[in-house]
Amino acid sequence: MIKITLPDGSVREYEQGITAHQIALSISEGLARNVLAAEVNGQVWDSSRPIESDSAVKLLTWNDQDGKATFWHSSAHLMAEALESLYPGTKFGIGPAIETGFYYDVDFGDREFSSDDFKQIEDKILELAR
């Protein structure tokens, strides 16, 4: 068993290898649906990464800057994957999460690109996210 210390100072015991998502689920299903990542001993982790030892854990949601940043970072990767799938040969520059969202600099080469393409890209992102 490992001890997980939550931000309110409470300590819960779990099996070694528990994930932040499973911790959230043990608290409430609503919390589990909203967890985007976790801060484990001061580092941001994916919510599905196993926790192997006693740790201080903060469950990150949209209400936390690190939760938003994790969501936007993952979203940028999903968008890049969708663009690469739909438009082979696309060249990628940077694609960071920023304070208010994310973006990706891309070069489609000779291909014409317009806002008419957004729906297809969005649908592909949703497919990949499932």
Question: CB neighbours of 105 closer than 8 A, spacing ≥ 6?
Answer: 92, 93, 94, 95
pLDDT for 41-65, tens place per residue?
Answer: 999 999 999 999 999 999 999 999 9
Listed residue (121, 109, 91, 5) closest to 55, CA to CA: 5
Instruction: Please indicate, yes or no, whether the overall pTM of this predicted structure exceeds 0.75.
Output: yes
**What pLDDT score does 47 carry?**
95
Give, as one character, the DSSP assignment of residue 37.
E
Beta strands in the chain (DSSP E): 2-5, 11-14, 18-19, 37-40, 43-45, 50-51, 55-60, 91-92, 97-98, 101-102, 106-107
Pick the residue with more confidence: 23 or 97?
Answer: 23
Phi and psi (nearest 5°) for 92? Answer: -110, 135
pLDDT for 86-126, tens place per residue?
Answer: 999 999 988 788 888 988 899 988 888 889 999 999 999 99
Neighbours of 128 (CB within 10 A): 13
Structural domains of the chain sorted by starting position, each given as residue range(s) with its CATH number in brackets: 2-63 (3.10.20.30), 66-129 (3.30.980.10)
Phi and psi (nearest 5°) for 68? Answer: -60, -45
